[in-house]
């Protein structure tokens, strides 16, 4: 997975974000998303293994509305920007269930702050079961939706999920091997040593590290390596934390080392040929070294069965959360759902 270059050096996972930052700062001057508590209700549901997951249900007007089942990306919570996505769907007549992954935010599950794409894919199936029983939802028009690393989990889930009527993959995580190639030298050896230590201990306790920069100085390159380094991610998560804090949802800037064991093993791209592509919208960003550049996404999309839709949006992975780029990206998704679901 190589950085995609379009007239500028752009950010690379775990490293400083380069000369595109000045242009990107304009995006982060955009107003905060509207903070509302009266347009959704808190719901909870059990997974097949008995873990309680919690989320927010945004109900569209009328009866028998489709429902979009949504979760955020790596370490992020339902309050971290995607309430805005849910509201766009509701405006278009689609309900939305936005939930926290197990081990994060409002949801139960141990260890805390650990991401396992395969487990998250399993939980998507149970979230779909829950969505089918929500008030006013047409159980025959369920949509599975993911972004970034949850896009990878939803890709895995969609490969075997017969109950969904549409699939939206936003700039999905596609390959642990590609991603692990960007880790610093010796990092995976550290992850494996941690696994060995926990296994031998008889009382495994997770080892944590920060996922995002802990300060502006850290974002500029001082201190230990983090997976999502640079000023743009620092601004993104700082603003995101304000949203989750105002909602009263706990979030900490940490992730287990074993998260990287699970990520490095995951290959969502291998599941794509099993997805019913006639139901699928696959979105790539014009510049996106976080998941993959658009030519790599195109190559992976081309392994799918015929009938899917592939769209490249502006400007980059995080930029699609804000302003006119957010509106344009959401229009692509809403228009797709109207074509597929009526």
In a domain, 246, yes or no: yes
Using CA atoms, how far apart are residues 138 and 6, in angstroms rounded to an integer? Answer: 43
Using CA atoms, how far apart are residues 129 and 144, in angstroms rounded to an integer? Answer: 11
Q: Which of 15-24, 36-45, 95-104 has the lowest mean pLDDT?
A: 15-24
Buried b (16+ CB within 10 A) or exposed e, 232-260: bbbbbbebbbebbeebebebebbbbbbbb
Residue 35 has pLDDT above 60, yes or no: no
Using CA atoms, how far apart are residues 325 and 331, in angstroms rounded to an integer? Answer: 10
Report yes or no: 125 and 102 within 8 Å, Cβ to Cβ: no
Quick: pLDDT tens for 248-306.
Answer: 999 999 999 999 999 999 999 999 999 999 999 999 999 997 899 999 999 999 999 99
Quick: pLDDT tens for 78-112.
Answer: 999 999 999 999 999 999 999 999 999 999 999 99
Nearest to 125 by CA among 239, 193, 49: 49
Q: What does the block give as tokens for 12?
A: 């690379």
Quick: pLDDT tens for 226-261.
Answer: 999 999 999 999 999 999 999 999 999 999 999 999
CATH of the domain at 252: 3.40.50.1820
In a domain, 24, yes or no: no
In a domain, 279, yes or no: yes
In a domain, 118, yes or no: yes
Q: Which long-range contacts (CB under 8 A, 24 or more apart) does 308-313 make?
A: 308/275, 308/277, 308/278, 308/280, 308/281, 308/282, 309/280, 309/281, 309/282, 309/336, 310/282, 310/284, 311/281, 311/282, 311/283, 311/284, 312/283, 312/284, 312/285, 312/286, 313/283, 313/284, 313/285, 313/286
Give the number of domains in the chain: 1
Using CA atoms, how far apart are residues 140 and 67, in angstroms rounded to an integer? Answer: 9
Q: pLDDT-based confidence at 38, cuts 50/70/90?
A: confident
pTM of the model: 0.90
Can you give the C-alpha Rg of the chain in angstroms?
Answer: 19
Using CA atoms, how far apart are residues 164 and 145, in angstroms rounded to an integer? Answer: 10
Q: Given this model, what pLDDT does residue 19 score?
A: 39
In a domain, 23, yes or no: no
- Tokens 């509106």 map to which residue? 327
User: Which domain range does residue 74 map to?
Assistant: 39-207+235-341
In a domain, 32, yes or no: no
The pLDDT > 90 percentage for the chain reads 87
Q: What does the block give as tokens for 140?
A: 């025959």
Exposed/middle/buried for residue 104 (C-beta within 10 Å: 0-12, 13-18, 19+): buried
What stretch of H or E contains 316? strand 309-316
In a domain, 329, yes or no: yes
Q: Given this model, what pLDDT does residue 289 score?
A: 79
Q: Given this model, what pLDDT does residue 342 score?
A: 79
In a domain, 297, yes or no: yes
């Amino acid at each position: 997975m190589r950085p995609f270059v379009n007239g500028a050096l752009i950010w690379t996972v775990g490293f400083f974000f380069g000369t595109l930052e000045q242009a990107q700062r304009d995006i982060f001057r955009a107003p905060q998303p509207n903070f509302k508590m009266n347009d959704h209700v808190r719901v909870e549901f059990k997974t097949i293994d008995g873990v309680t997951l919690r989320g927010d249900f945004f109900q569209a007007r009328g009866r028998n509305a489709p429902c979009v089942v949504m979760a955020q990306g790596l370490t992020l919570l339902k309050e971290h920007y995607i309430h805005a996505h849910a509201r766009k769907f509701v405006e278009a007549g689609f309900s939305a269930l936005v939930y926290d992954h197990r081990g994060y935010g409002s949801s139960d599950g141990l260890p805390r702050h650990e991401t396992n794409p395969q487990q998250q894919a399993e939980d998507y199936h149970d979230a779909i079961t829950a969505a089918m029983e929500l008030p006013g939802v047409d159980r025959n028009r369920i949509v599975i939706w993911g972004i970034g690393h949850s896009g990878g989990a939803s890709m895995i889930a969609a490969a075997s999920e017969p109950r969904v009527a549409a699939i939206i993959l936003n700039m999905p995580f596609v390959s642990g091997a590609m991603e692990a190639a960007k880790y610093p030298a010796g990092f995976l050896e550290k992850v494996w040593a941690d696994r060995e230590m926990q296994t031998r201990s008889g009382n495994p306790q997770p080892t944590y590290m920060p996922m995002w920069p802990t300060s502006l100085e850290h974002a500029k390159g001082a201190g230990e390596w983090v997976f999502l380094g640079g000023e743009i991610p620092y601004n993104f998560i700082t603003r995101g934390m304000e949203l989750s804090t105002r909602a009263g949802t706990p979030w900490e800037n940490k992730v287990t080392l074993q998260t990287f064991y699970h990520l490095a093993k995951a290959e969502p791209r291998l599941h794509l040929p099993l997805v019913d592509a006639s139901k699928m919208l696959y979105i790539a960003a014009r510049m996106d070294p976080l998941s993959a550049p658009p030519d790599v996404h195109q190559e992976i999309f081309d392994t799918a069965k015929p009938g899917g839709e592939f769209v490249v949006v502006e400007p980059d992975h995080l930029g699609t959360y804000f302003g006119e780029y957010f509106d344009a990206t959401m229009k692509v998704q809403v228009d797709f759902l109207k074509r597929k679901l009526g």
